[in-house]
Amino acid sequence: AGAVGPRLLGRAAATGELLTSEVPLPPPFQVPLPIPAVLPPLSRDADADRYEIVQRVATAEILPGLRTPIWGYQGTFPGPTIESRSGRTTVVRHRNELPVPTVVHLHGGRTPPDSDGYATDLVLPASGWRAAHQGMLDPDAKITQGLRDYAYPLRQRASGLWYHDHRMDFTGPAVHRGLAGFHFVRDAEEDALPLPRGERELPLMIADRAFAADGSMRYPSLDSTLSTVPGVEEPYAAGVFGDVILVNGAPWPVAEVSATRYRLRLLNASNARRYDLALDPPPPDGPAFTQIGSDQGLLDAPRGHDHLPIAPAERYDVVVDFGRYPVGTEITLVNRAGTGSTAYVLRFRVTRRGTEDSHVPDRLSTIEPLDRTRAGVIREFSFRGAPSGGRHGWLIGGQPYSPSRIDARPRLGDVEIWRFVADVHHPIHLHLVQFRVLSRGGREPGPFDGGLKDTVDLRPGEAVEVIARFDGYRGRYMFHCHNAEHEDMGMMANFETV
């Protein structure tokens, strides 16, 4: 089962060196912010809304005048956005027309195991692959050829989810080539709130890339690997970074806004980069961002922030009031964690007045409290680099990923506390469950830990406890570091709800 693909990354990934573009970088804030198209359903019947997505090779003009080969859902990067209603089954038929196997995971979805995109449940290309790789396929996996129907019951609250590739050992390169898209779940509770909507709700997928002279996105290639770099000695491989910041697939774009409130659905879809987002200039009064939701939907009450630290796979749902700036102001969404070309992300240009019809109420939602006394089981997992590095350079509980090992068997419906400890930064994601951060570094959760989450960023040397009810579906699920290179280099494990 371990042979689904070799864990091979080159030295650049291993040392986490910034990949720089081999082409001149364009001036920032020239390209209009693109909004990914919303995918129309093929049909809606009594049971489900049905969609079809073709995964294919395409060419995109990401940097002006440069042709970049991508792998895209529907041939676009980001892929099309899916809009679903809570509790209404969404079936997405994915056709794989790429030259490699794929796996689709709906990140944050409460999905039965069959459709969760288990890392070895491959969708093989329509022809050619099976015969050549028969001995390398996980014998226990549910493998299909050419296409697969993923069924999402979406028995969950309104939230900003995303879908992306999840093939064992190859998630990093596949997502890097473009396999990521938004999937929003809506419900009546959210509809009833007077939040900015329509054109005043902006999905913002942030990702960094570097570009080669031929236009391709630079990723340490599978040929410059352990065969030429014997043993990756650096155990603290940081992952793959680029020097161009893309929002919805465009470099440092610009968005024209009216002097009103906007709702920003922020997603960090970068393989490894963390951002610390702020507004420059900050508003004359009050916090820059009013957070209304986190990974798994609305907070109970809004929370103001002057900056937003965001690790790979995390989401923030925030409202920014551009009415606090005079018409004509240019406001940059900056990255305080970056330097040079990575220190800025996006620019808003307040071009006009607008009629304000939204506000952020003091109460947003109700989140069921879940305190320590409810938990019957406490488990602990360490997230650390392997002492000797190498192709299994990243470990959970001292072990690299194996599809055949289950590290936890929570009983369906039980509440458990999971305690994580890390050597360096790791954004930890659990499939299936919605958790709350219970403590960070032995103290109360931090200001950004509020609400229901599915990904929590661990800081070096810090212990974080999360609490969750393991309900929904019985079966095998993954949990892992969402630094995509760490994940591909072994930092993933399984739990099984029983």
* Interface residue list for ligand C2O (CB under 6 A): 105, 107, 164, 166, 313, 429, 431, 478, 480, 482
Among 265, 164, 293, 289, residue whose Cα is nearest residue 206: 265
Dihedral sign computed on CA atoms, order 335, 242, 30, 261 = negative
Residue nearer to ligand C2O on the CB measure, 28 or 117: 117
Given ligand C2O, Cu ion, none, residue 257, with its beta carbon under 5 to 8 Å by kind, binds none
Report how far residue 120's alpha carbon sits from residue 482's, in angstroms, rounded to the nearest whole number. 17
* Minimum separation from the CB atom of position 411 to ligand C2O (A): 22
Give 428: exposed, middle or buried? Use CB within 10 Å, 0-12, 13-18, 19+: buried
**What's the chain's length in residues?**
498
Given Cu ion, ligand C2O, none, residue 39, with its beta carbon under 5 to 8 Å by kind, binds none
Given ligand C2O, Cu ion, none, residue 483, with its beta carbon under 5 to 8 Å by kind, binds Cu ion
* Minimum separation from the CB atom of position 428 to Cu ion (A): 8
Q: Going by C-beta distance under 8 Å and a sequence separation of 6 or more, which residues neighbour residue 491?
A: 383, 394, 395, 396, 400, 401, 426, 480, 481, 483
Residue nearer to ligand C2O on the CB measure, 107 or 469: 107
Amino acid (one-letter) located at 178: G
* Minimum separation from the CB atom of position 239 to Cu ion (A): 8
Report how far residue 202's alpha carbon sits from residue 18's, in angstroms, rounded to the nearest whole number. 29
> Phi-psi region for residue 423, left (φ > 0), alpha (ψ -120 to 50) or beta?
alpha
* Minimum separation from the CB atom of position 95 to ligand C2O (A): 21
Cα 134 off chain centre by: 31
* Minimum separation from the CB atom of position 482 to Cu ion (A): 7
Residue nearer to ligand C2O on the CB measure, 148 or 429: 429
Given ligand C2O, Cu ion, none, residue 107, with its beta carbon under 5 to 8 Å by kind, binds ligand C2O
Nearest residue (beta carbon) to ligand C2O: 107
Dihedral sign computed on CA atoms, order 368, 369, 372, 373 = negative
* Minimum separation from the CB atom of position 347 to ligand C2O (A): 28
Residue nearer to ligand C2O on the CB measure, 299 or 478: 478
* Minimum separation from the CB atom of position 273 to Cu ion (A): 12
Given Cu ion, ligand C2O, none, residue 481, with its beta carbon under 5 to 8 Å by kind, binds Cu ion
Which residue ranges make up the site for Cu ion (CB under 5 A)?
426, 481, 483, 486
Given ligand C2O, Cu ion, none, residue 274, with its beta carbon under 5 to 8 Å by kind, binds none
Among 494, 85, 482, 169, residue whose Cα is nearest residue 315: 482
Residue nearer to ligand C2O on the CB measure, 375 or 432: 432
Among 262, 93, 102, 244, residue whose Cα is nearest residue 180: 102
Residue nearer to ligand C2O on the CB measure, 241 or 477: 477
Report how far residue 301's alpha carbon sits from residue 451's, in angstroms, rounded to the nearest whole number. 9
Given ligand C2O, Cu ion, none, residue 480, with its beta carbon under 5 to 8 Å by kind, binds ligand C2O
Among 435, 494, 495, 445, residue whose Cα is nearest residue 466: 435
Phi, psi of 340 (to 5 degrees): 55, -130
Given ligand C2O, Cu ion, none, residue 177, with its beta carbon under 5 to 8 Å by kind, binds none
Bridge partners (DSSP) listed for residue 403: none
Residue nearer to ligand C2O on the CB measure, 245 or 428: 428
* Minimum separation from the CB atom of position 132 to ligand C2O (A): 27
Residue nearer to ligand C2O on the CB measure, 209 or 429: 429
* Minimum separation from the CB atom of position 164 to ligand C2O (A): 6
